[in-house]
Amino acid sequence: MAVENFQDAMVSLGIKQSKDQAGSAIGAFWSPNSIDPHNQTRSSARSSYYDKFAKRANLHALTSRQVTRLLTKKAKDSVKIVGVEYVEAGKETTKLVVKAKREYILSAGTVHDPQILQLSGMCPACS
């Protein structure tokens, strides 16, 4: 359904559909990229990453949480992340903090990565 909606939206904007990107790369084209090329099964973050590393002692997956901002400390010419503030679903008034010893990996997607950085004051318009 999402593919059909995408294609319909592009057509409604006057953008031609490209049925095959091999011949002409001009126009709207949907290329599924969540298919494992080895066994032709649907791939996801869970099957590609989490399931393989879930038993590691240093991996902690917190579900039903939303990051509200990164806690930072200003250094000489940079900003250091010192923690992550988040809320649990249904308990938005209680903010919790988690800290890491070595590194933080922000992986909230195309829309939410920039949003979290902006909420944390880490963007050109925020400084």
Over residues 76-107, the pLDDT tens digits come to 888 889 999 999 988 988 999 999 988 888 88
pTM: 0.61
Distance CA 127, CA 115 (A): 15
Residue 10 burial by Cβ neighbours in a 10 Å radius (0-12, 13-18, 19+): middle
Q: What pLDDT is stored for residue 72 in this prediction? A: 92
Rounded to an integer, what is the distance from CA 93 to the centroid of its chain? 24
Distance CA 16, CA 5 (A): 14
Q: What is the DSSP letter of 109?
A: H
Location of structure tokens 């066994």: 39
Q: Where are the domains of the chain?
A: 65-126
